[in-house]
C-alpha cells in the first residue's frame, strides 16, 4: 500500500483507511504525520470517525484517536460506520444536540459499551454513553446524560443541584428517571424485549417543576429551558 494512512471525508465525518500489514507503532507515526499536516484544514471541527481496511481492538482505536487529538485540534465525538443505519442515527442525534456539545467536551466523558442488569455507572461530569442501558442497570451523573442507544434502565441526572440538566436517549423507555429532585412518572413499566420502537431521539428535562419528555426537534431545542 503506497500510503499506509489515507483520510477521506464523508457527510458525517472522516474515514481513515489503514494499511493492514504495517506495524501498529509505525501506523501511529503515519497517523500523527497525516493529521499534523492537515491540522489547518480541520481546525477544531467536531466529527465522527470511521476505520476501514484494518481490524482494530478498542485499545488500538483509542490510541489512534489520542494520536489524532494530540496532532490536531479535531474533536472526535464518536467512532462510526458510515454505512451503518444505527450509527447514522447516532450522528444525527449528536448534530441535534450541538448546542450542548461544547459543555459536554469541556467537562464530560465518554463510555463505550452497554450497561447490563446490576451495573451502575456514576460520574460527577456530564457523560455520553455509546451503547444501551439495559433494564436493571443504572447511570448517575451530577450533570447531563446523553445515551446514544436505548435507555431501558434507570437514569439520574442533575445530582449537583443546579438547574437546566437533561437526559437524552435514542430510545427512551426508562424504568426510572430523575433530574435533580424531580422524578419522571411513567404510566406503565416498559420492557426492551417488547416490540422495538422506531428510533426517535427524545430528551427529558425539567419545566415548571415537572420532568417533561419530548421528541427532539429544532423548535424544541430553540425553546428548551436548559
Q: What domains sit in the chain, N to C, each tagged with a CATH number?
A: 5-79 (3.30.750), 85-223 (2.160.20.70)
Question: For residue 165, what are the contacts with CB-CB under 8 A and spacing of at least 6?
Answer: 141, 143, 144, 157, 158, 179, 180, 205, 206, 226
| Residue 153: φ, ψ to 5° | -105, -135
**What pLDDT, on the 0 to 100 scale, is given for residue 221?**
67
Characterize the bridge pairing of strands 13-18 and 5-10.
antiparallel
Pick from 45, 54, 68: nearest CA to 22: 54
What is the b/e burial string over 48-83, where b = at least 16 CB atoms within 10 angstroms of the residue's CB? bbbbeebebeeebeebbbebbeebbebbbbbbbebe
10 membership: H or E segment, kind and range: strand 5-10
Would you say the C-alpha torsion 175, 179, 180, 183 has a positive or negative sign?
Answer: negative
SS3 state of residue 140: strand
Q: Answer for the pair 180, 165: CB distance below 8 angstroms, yes or no.
A: yes
Q: Answer for the pair 137, 145: CB distance below 8 angstroms, yes or no.
A: no
Global pTM?
A: 0.52
Q: Give the Cα separation of 154 and 191 in Å (integer).
A: 12
Q: Answer for the pair 41, 7: CB distance below 8 angstroms, yes or no.
A: no
Q: pLDDT tens digits, the chain, 226 residues: what are they? A: 468 999 887 665 788 899 999 999 999 999 999 898 887 777 777 777 888 889 988 889 889 988 998 898 887 767 776 555 545 555 555 555 554 545 444 556 888 888 999 999 998 888 999 889 999 999 999 999 999 889 999 999 998 777 789 999 988 999 999 999 898 876 545 544 444 445 578 999 998 888 999 888 767 766 666 5
Amino acid at each position: 500500500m503506497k500510503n499506509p494512512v489515507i483520510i477521506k471525508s464523508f457527510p458525517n465525518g472522516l474515514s481513515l483507511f489503514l494499511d493492514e500489514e504495517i506495524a501498529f507503532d509505525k501506523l501511529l507515526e503515519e497517523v500523527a504525520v497525516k493529521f499534523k499536516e492537515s491540522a489547518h484544514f480541520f481546525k477544531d471541527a467536531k466529527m465522527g470517525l470511521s476505520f476501514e481496511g484494518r481490524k482494530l481492538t478498542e485499545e488500538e482505536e483509542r490510541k489512534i484517536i489520542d494520536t489524532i487529538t494530540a496532532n490536531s485540534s479535531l474533536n472526535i465525538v464518536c467512532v462510526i460506520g458510515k454505512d451503518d443505519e444505527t450509527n447514522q442515527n447516532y450522528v444525527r442525534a449528536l448534530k441535534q444536540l450541538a448546542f450542548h456539545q461544547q459543555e459536554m467536551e469541556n467537562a464530560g466523558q465518554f463510555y463505550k459499551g452497554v450497561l447490563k442488569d446490576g451495573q451502575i455507572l456514576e460520574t460527577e461530569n456530564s457523560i455520553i454513553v455509546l451503547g444501551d442501558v439495559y433494564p436493571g442497570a443504572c447511570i448517575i451523573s451530577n450533570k447531563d446524560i446523553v445515551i446514544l442507544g436505548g435507555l431501558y434502565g434507570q437514569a439520574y441526572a442533575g445530582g449537583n443541584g443546579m438547574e437546566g440538566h437533561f437526559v437524552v436517549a435514542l430510545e427512551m423507555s426508562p424504568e426510572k428517571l430523575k433530574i435533580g429532585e424531580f422524578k419522571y412518572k411513567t404510566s406503565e413499566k416498559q420492557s426492551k424485549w417488547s416490540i422495538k420502537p422506531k428510533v426517535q431521539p427524545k430528551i427529558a428535562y425539567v419545566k415548571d417543576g415537572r420532568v417533561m419528555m419530548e421528541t427532539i426537534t429544532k423548535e424544541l431545542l430553540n425553546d428548551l429551558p436548559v
